[in-house]
Structure 1
Amino acid sequence: MNLQLTGKRALVTGSTAGLGEAIAKFLAAEGATVVINGRSHERAAAVVAAITAEGGKAEMALGDLATDAGADAVVAEACRSGAIDILVNNAGYYHHLDWNTASTERWMETFDVNVLSAVRMIQRLVPSMREARWGRVIQIGGGLAGQPISMQPDYNASLAARHNLAVSLARDLKNSGVTSNIVAPGAVLVPSVKELLEKIAPAHGWGESWEDIEQGCVRDMVPNDVGRLGRPDEIAAAVAYLASPYAAYISGATIRVDGGTVRAVF
């Protein structure tokens, strides 16, 4: 299916590895020129090289989005060859902390990286989308936004904020030609997740083969209706659809790509 993204420019934050990298590569394969963002020149250059080797178009815009100066630098570089039509706010992180170990300082740090970085990019890039009467803003959220767990309270709350700001933005973009939506992944099999699961598998008795480890993880930690972890391209495909002209009638929505982890009637 041709998603009609040729000629569009997309900035994917936090796209030097993992899910962000997969999203960037998927958008590039659909014809978009993708701007790779991160803090490591080496890793960003590797993603750009991989995309161009497949015939795609990619650029780099390095910088730390947790600061105003960093966001300014990223936007200046990202827009050097043209305005951004598609913004995917993927950059973020979490720590394995609980209510006893997550200090208020860590809460502030988590919100700065996971929430305010997205706000910085929205405030800097959406005005030109309004002027063009076309644009897509996509937040990468998650099921923990609506069904939080006891662990990682700061991360759970930051995801809820991402979902909330996306809907607020959609209301503000009424009749502008610009949409704002959320893609909410479940547990996704990126290299860092696989490495972690293989490390903790012996303690959980999940076996030695990857097939056994994945089944054990899904059974004991992230039960869902599909019976496996998500693959990066499955989330990237949802992002690409929302970025395309075919999704012009979708705004303020959450698309869950989680295998049925989150169970809700509505």
Structure 2
Amino acid sequence: MDLNLSGKRALVTGSSAGLGEATARFLAAEGAAVVIHGRDRGRVESVVEAVRAAGGDATAVLGDLSTDEGAAEVARAATADGPVDVLVNNAGFYRHLSWTDASPQEWADTYNVNVVSGVRMIQRLVPAMRERGWGRVITIGGGLALQPMSTHPQYNATLAARHNLAVSLARDLAGSGVTSNVVSPGAILVDATQELVTGIGPARGWGSTWEEILPNAVEALIPNDRGRFGKPDEIAAAVAYLCSDLAEYVSGATIRVDGGLIKGAF
């Protein structure tokens, strides 16, 4: 299926690893020119080289989106070779903290990185999309926006804010030719997920090897209809669909990619 992304330029924030990297690679394979963003030059350039080696078009931008100056520099560099048609707000972070340990400053810092950073990029890139009459904004959210855990409350709340701002943006963009949507992943098996589960598995009696731990971790942490963790490319595919002309009638929507998550404890 042709998603008609050739000739489109896509900036994927936080794309030097994990879901962001998988999304950038997928969009490049579909013909988009991708802008790889991160703060570590070596990791960013490694992804750029991998995309190019696979026949794709990729450029690198470095910058800290948690400051106005850093966001402005990323926007400038991302548009140096042409306008950005697709913005994937993926960058974010969390720390596994309890309600007691998550200080007000931690809440403020997490909100700045996970919410305001995305707003900075929207305000810098979306006006030009509106002027051209075409654009796509995809925000990477998460199931914890609706089913928060008791732990890392500062992170759960920022996911809810990301979902909310994406719908508000869709309303603002009505009639412009630009859409705004959310892709909401469940528990996706990236390196950090495997490291976490492997670390806690033996103490919880799930086994000592990855083969033993994996099914028990799914059952205990993320019971879902598919009975497994998600794959990064499954998130990337949902993003690619929303970037395409096939999703022209989809705006203000949340696309869950979580295997039919029943009740996550992750």
Structure 1: 4+ residue segments shifted above 6 A: none
Q: CA RMSD in A?
A: 0.9
- State the partner residue of 1:15: 15
The number of equivalent residue pairs is: 263
Within-5 A mapping of 1:1-266? 1-261=1-261
Contact 1:143 1:262 in 2 (8 A): no
Displacement of 1:262 after TM fit? 5.0
Contact 1:9 1:84 in 2 (8 A): yes
* 1:93 counterpart SS class: coil
CA displacement, residues 23-48 of structure 1 (integer Å, 9 cap, x when unaligned): 00000000000000000000000000
* 2:249 counterpart SS class: coil
Displacement of 1:98 after TM fit? 1.4
- Which AA in structure 2 matches 1:49? E
CA distance in 1, matches of 2:114, 2:90: 9
Percentage identity across paired residues of the two chains = 64
- Which AA in structure 2 matches 1:84? V
* 1:139 counterpart SS class: strand
CA distance in 2, matches of 1:75, 1:113: 16
* 1:260 counterpart SS class: coil
CA distance in 1, matches of 2:82, 2:208: 49
- Which AA in structure 2 matches 1:72? A
Displacement of 1:212 after TM fit? 2.4
Displacement of 1:208 after TM fit? 3.3
CA distance in 2, matches of 1:142, 1:240: 17
Contact 1:13 1:91 in 2 (8 A): yes
Contact 1:225 1:261 in 2 (8 A): yes
Displacement of 1:146 after TM fit? 1.1
* 1:236 counterpart SS class: helix
Contact 1:48 1:60 in 2 (8 A): yes
Moved more, 239-248 or 197-206: 197-206
Structure 2: which 5+ residue stretches go unaligned? none
Structure 1: which 5+ residue stretches go unaligned? none
* 2:170 counterpart SS class: helix
CA distance in 1, matches of 2:31, 2:119: 27
CA distance in 2, matches of 1:262, 1:130: 38
| TM-score (normalizing by structure 2) | 0.97
Contact 1:138 1:180 in 2 (8 A): yes
CA displacement, residues 49-80 of structure 1 (integer Å, 9 cap, x when unaligned): 00000000000111000000000000010000
